């Protein structure tokens, strides 16, 4: 199962990513806390690290009006407008991949089994 988000200028500038249906479904199936577990105005974090071992976190949260959102701490250092973030689950491993133009950066899990890969789009 995969979930994809194409990064827009607004998402990058505000560090707010709208969780589309594929991301919500993915979180529900593979993450320990899901958007369904969060009340409006609540958030949860999933610890992760970038490939260079820099600590980060994936935040899932709901606005008071119920919008489902997410952010990845320090993502601006690794992602550009137009890059695609892909959440994947393979062989018991859940991870996020970001496709861009230049390279691949992988986030590996700390406490939860979440890894985020960054690959710059062509």
Give the 3-state secondary structure of residue 61. strand
d(CA 66, CA 88): 25
Q: Which helix (H) or strand (E) holds 4?
A: strand 2-6
Question: HSE on the CB side for 114, CA within 13 Å?
Answer: 24
Count up the domains in the chain and report the number.
1
pTM: 0.70
Tell me the per-residue pLDDT of 8-67, one tens digit each, with 9 for 90 and over.
999 989 888 999 998 888 888 877 778 888 889 999 887 766 656 677 788 899 999 989
Q: Would you place residue 110 in the very low, low, confident or very high pLDDT band (cuts 50, 70, 90)?
A: very low
Tell me the per-residue pLDDT of 57-101, one tens digit each, with 9 for 90 and over.
888 999 999 899 998 888 888 788 888 877 776 655 566 666 665
Domain of residue 98 covers: 2-120
**The pLDDT of residue 58:** 81
Distance of CA 5 to the CA centre of its chain: 9
């Amino acid at each position: 199962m995969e979930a994809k988000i194409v990064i827009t200028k607004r998402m990058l500038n505000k560090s707010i990513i709208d969780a589309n249906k594929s991301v919500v479904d993915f979180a529900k199936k593979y993450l320990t806390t899901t958007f369904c577990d969060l009340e409006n105005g609540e958030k949860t974090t999933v610890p992760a690290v970038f490939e260079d071992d820099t600590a980060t976190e994936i935040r899932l949260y709901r606005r008071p009006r119920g919008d489902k959102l997410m952010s990845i701490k320090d993502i601006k250092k690794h992602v550009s407008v137009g890059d695609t973030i892909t959440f994947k689950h393979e062989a018991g491993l859940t991870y996020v991949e970001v496709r861009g133009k230049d390279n691949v950066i992988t986030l590996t899990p700390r406490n939860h089994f979440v890894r985020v890969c960054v690959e710059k789009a062509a």
